[in-house]
């Protein structure tokens, strides 16, 4: 039986996590506008957790709070081009945020913990991406205690103000209090982004009470401390100063309506994407469809189409599907990536994207496509691309095949199965470490990446294999068995070993703050969240808030 899902709609499985929301449904954030300045005010409702069993005290947050924040950031970018600065602050007196809710972390599964850290960090990165991409600048107005994930949220902003009132402090207390790490990039941002001296960072991260006042400013933990008497005026002054750094964006915003999707027990059907789930084989097939009607070519016409424009609509659906699979289908270990439709239709849209990237809306669409592809790269699932009759792996959709751990291409007798590059493969959709997927693929032979990008015209399976663009090419007799055996083999292997292997192989070459955050998150959080020192019966996270002291295994590994 199928149904259309509204905001927060019915389940695909028992009590799934729903990632779509809307400001009218926010319970934990208030979003308001004063001309070119927006205010995003945290006011977490204690009795409204994502799951029952804990209270969200002191503006502590869980995934539900962060889903609302992610939605707000996305809407600010698309619906409010007039906004040039965003103030993130708290409605609670002397509390900015106590960070991730500890009782939530202690009670949830290992996979949920790690995916929670991933989603939270992806939201922080969306803030940084907005600023770096020419959008609004962000000001963290920390009007009280700012701890753990609350301070990590502040560090994602361009500037941090801290109330100088004798009690407001910033802290990353996870190591001394919980036996874990600041799980959404706190340590990396501290030394990489804010460039805090590492010996001072060592002291800071082992002080449960944190650091306040002049010392916090001198160490570089915050940019300014401000007295209570000057607080409101200084927040407004700094927000206006940040706004002056942002170019004016003209034209009305583009509303983001809910995604129309039909769900059943083993499928999700969007307008441009179908997800077919095979739990017996622990796999899911994602089929993205090319546009089936002419698309606008000029910026003004594109904005009139708005959220219905094919690249934005399709990648919003893909982003929603990836989040759903991470949280609601934990045993699905292999994603099979397929496409359907016209190669030329995809390439035509890509040319329009490249030609109009100076327009603010088109630029935001490109940045969103890039963020969605990075979410795919960072998803702890094996990725196989299947390039078959009727496929349209061109340009922006070719990125799916380039992101895959392996790609299988049918060499049909007529040579009709083809792939093609477009201008977007040359740098518009970078990976977390800054390389294009073509450059990552040919890290040892960069000239081959340039040749593939310059080729221009669609290529057959044999030419694609010679160019190194696909992994396996097989004819119509062998192709079904090649794919079947590969799938059966992949899902039989240890998921832990595969996660480690894939995370290590997908990102050759240099690193950025973003890639370091995720590399360390995947490795260290996966390990620490399974160690008895944190989550055992006498572990620090398990005993948080109880009178007993944790019992550690003192052996270092």
Q: How confident is the model at residue 11 (pLDDT cuts 50, 70, 90)?
A: very low
Return the structure tokens found at 29: 């954030």
pLDDT single digits (tens) 398-408 = 999 999 999 99
DSSP string, 373-435: HHHHHTSSSEEEEEE-TT---BHHHHHHHHHSSEEEEEE-TT---EEB--GGGGTTS--TTS-
Phi-psi region of 179 (alpha: psi -120 to 50; beta: other; left: phi over 0): left
Closest CA to 381 of 461, 221, 491: 491
In this prediction, residue 5 carries a pLDDT of 37
Q: Which residues contact 30 (CB under 8 A, 6 or more apart)?
A: 39, 40, 41, 43, 91
pLDDT single digits (tens) 38-53 = 999 999 999 999 999 9
In whole numbers, what is the pLDDT of the chain averaged over residues? 94
In this prediction, residue 14 carries a pLDDT of 58
In this prediction, residue 250 carries a pLDDT of 82
| Shared fold status for 21-243 and 265-505 | yes
In this prediction, residue 13 carries a pLDDT of 45
In this prediction, residue 547 carries a pLDDT of 93
Q: The domain 265-505: what is its CATH number?
A: 3.90.226.10
Closest CA to 37 of 259, 313, 244, 183: 244
Average pLDDT over residues 1-7: 34
Give the separation between CA 195 and CA 190, rounded to whole angstroms. Answer: 6
Tally of CB atoms within 10 A around 505: 10
Average pLDDT over residues 369-396: 97
- Please, where are the H alpha helices in 179-230? 186-188, 198-205, 213-218
User: Percent of the chain, pLDDT > 70?
Assistant: 97
Average pLDDT over residues 338-347: 98
pLDDT single digits (tens) 168-222 = 999 999 999 999 999 889 999 999 999 999 999 999 999 999 999 999 999 999 9
CB-based burial, 441-455: b 16+ in 10 Å, e otherwise: bbeeeeebbeebbee
pLDDT single digits (tens) 250-285 = 889 999 999 999 999 999 999 999 999 999 999 999
> Length of the chain in residues, anyone?
557
CB-based burial, 124-141: b 16+ in 10 Å, e otherwise: bbbbbbbbebebbbbbbb
Dmax over CA atoms of the chain, in Å, equals 78
Closest CA to 319 of 40, 71, 128: 71
Q: How confident is the model at residue 455 (pLDDT cuts 50, 70, 90)?
A: confident
Tally of CB atoms within 10 A around 104: 23
Half-sphere exposure of 303 (CA within 13 A, CB side): 18
Give the separation between CA 353 and CA 424, rounded to whole angstroms. Answer: 8
User: Percent of the chain, pLDDT > 90?
Assistant: 92
Give the separation between CA 17 and CA 376, rounded to whole angstroms. Answer: 18
Whether the predicted pLDDT of 226 surpasses 50: yes
Closest CA to 382 of 479, 287, 482, 283: 283
In this prediction, residue 519 carries a pLDDT of 87
Whether the predicted pLDDT of 360 surpasses 90: yes
User: What separation, in Å, do the N-terminal and C-terminal C-alpha atoms of the chain show?
Assistant: 51
Whether the predicted pLDDT of 229 surpasses 50: yes
Q: Which residues contact 263 (CB under 8 A, 6 or more apart)?
A: 2, 3, 5, 10, 12, 269
In this prediction, residue 523 carries a pLDDT of 84
Whether the predicted pLDDT of 155 surpasses 90: yes
Domain 21-243 class, CATH top level: alpha beta
Tally of CB atoms within 10 A around 32: 10
The whole-model pTM stands at 0.95
Phi-psi region of 253 (alpha: psi -120 to 50; beta: other; left: phi over 0): beta
CB-based contact 337:383 (threshold 8 Å): yes
Q: How confident is the model at residue 2 (pLDDT cuts 50, 70, 90)?
A: very low
Exposed, middle or buried: residue 459 (CB in 10 Å: 0-12, 13-18, 19+)? buried
Return the structure tokens found at 333: 């270990």
Closest CA to 151 of 116, 109, 112, 194: 194
Whether the predicted pLDDT of 12 surpasses 80: no
pLDDT single digits (tens) 119-144 = 999 999 999 999 999 899 999 999 99
Tally of CB atoms within 10 A around 204: 22
Q: Where are the domains of the chain?
A: 21-243, 265-505
In this prediction, residue 526 carries a pLDDT of 83
DSSP string, 464-533: HHHTT--SEEEETTTHHHHHHHHHHHHHHS-HHHHHHHHHHHS--S---HHHHHHHHIIIIIHHHTTSHH
Return the structure tokens found at 144: 């009280």
Q: Is the four-CA dihedral 503, 504, 506, 508 of positive or negative sign?
A: positive
In this prediction, residue 210 carries a pLDDT of 97
pLDDT single digits (tens) 100-115 = 999 999 999 999 999 9
């Amino acid at each position: 039986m199928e149904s259309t899902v509204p905001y927060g709609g019915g389940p695909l499985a028992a009590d799934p996590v729903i990632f779509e929301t809307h400001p009218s449904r926010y319970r934990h954030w208030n979003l308001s506008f004063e001309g070119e300045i927006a205010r995003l005010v945290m006011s977490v409702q204690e009795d409204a957790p994502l799951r029952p069993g804990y209270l969200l005290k002191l503006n502590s947050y869980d995934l539900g709070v962060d889903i609302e924040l992610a939605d707000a950031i996305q809407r600010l970018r698309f619906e409010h081009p007039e906004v040039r600065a965003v103030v993130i602050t708290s409605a609670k007196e002397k509390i900015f945020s106590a960070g991730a809710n500890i009782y939530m972390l202690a009670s949830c599964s290992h996979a949920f913990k790690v995916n929670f850290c991933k989603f939270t960090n992806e939201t922080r990165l969306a803030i940084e991406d907005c600023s770096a991409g020419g959008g609004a600048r962000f000001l963290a107005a920390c009007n009280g205690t700012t701890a753990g994930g609350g301070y990590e949220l502040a560090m994602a902003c361009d500037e941090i103000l801290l109330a100088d009132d004798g009690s407001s402090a910033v802290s990353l207390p996870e190591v001394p209090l919980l036996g874990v790490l600041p799980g959404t990039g706190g340590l990396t941002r501290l030394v990489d982004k804010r460039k805090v001296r590492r010996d001072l960072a060592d002291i800071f991260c082992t002080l449960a009470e944190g650091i306040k006042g002049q010392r916090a400013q001198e160490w570089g933990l915050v940019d300014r401390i401000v007295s209570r008497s000057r607080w409101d005026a200084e927040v407004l002054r700094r927000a206006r100063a940040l706004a002056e750094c942002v170019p004016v964006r003209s034209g009305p915003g583009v509303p983001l309506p809910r995604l129309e999707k039909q769900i059943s027990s083993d499928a999700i059907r969007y307008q441009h994407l179908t997800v077919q789930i095979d739990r017996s084989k622990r796999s899911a097939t994602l089929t993205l469809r090319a546009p089936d009607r002419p698309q606008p070519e000029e910026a003004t016409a594109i904005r009139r189409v708005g959220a219905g424009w094919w690249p934005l609509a399709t990648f919003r659906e893909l982003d929603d599907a990836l989040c759903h699979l991470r949280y609601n289908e934990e045993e699905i270990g292999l994603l099979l990536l397929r496409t359907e439709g016209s190669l030329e239709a995809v390439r035509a849209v890509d040319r329009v994207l490249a030609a109009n990237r100076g327009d603010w809306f088109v630029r935001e669409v490109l940045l969103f496509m890039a963020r969605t592809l990075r979410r795919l790269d960072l998803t702890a699932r094996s990725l196989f691309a299947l390039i078959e009759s009727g496929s349209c792996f061109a340009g922006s959709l070719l990125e799916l095949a380039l992101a895959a751990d392996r790609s299988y291409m049918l060499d049909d007798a007529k040579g009709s199965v083809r792939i093609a590059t477009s201008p977007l493969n040359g740098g518009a959709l970078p990976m977390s470490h800054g390389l294009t997927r073509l450059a990552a693929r040919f890290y040892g032979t960069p000239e081959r990446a340039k040749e593939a990008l310059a080729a221009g015209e669609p290529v057959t399976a044999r030419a694609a294999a010679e160019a190194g663009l696909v992994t396996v090419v097989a004819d119509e007799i062998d192709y079904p068995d090649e794919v079947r055996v590969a799938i059966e083999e992949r899902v039989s292997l240890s998921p832990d070993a595969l996660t480690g292997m894939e995370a290590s192989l997908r990102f050759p070459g240099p690193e950025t703050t973003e890639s370091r955050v995720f590399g360390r998150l995947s490795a260290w959080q996966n390990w620490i969240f399974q160690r008895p020192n944190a989550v055992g019966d006498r572990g620090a996270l398990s005993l948080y808030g109880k009178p007993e002291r944790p019992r550690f295994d003192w052996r270092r590994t």
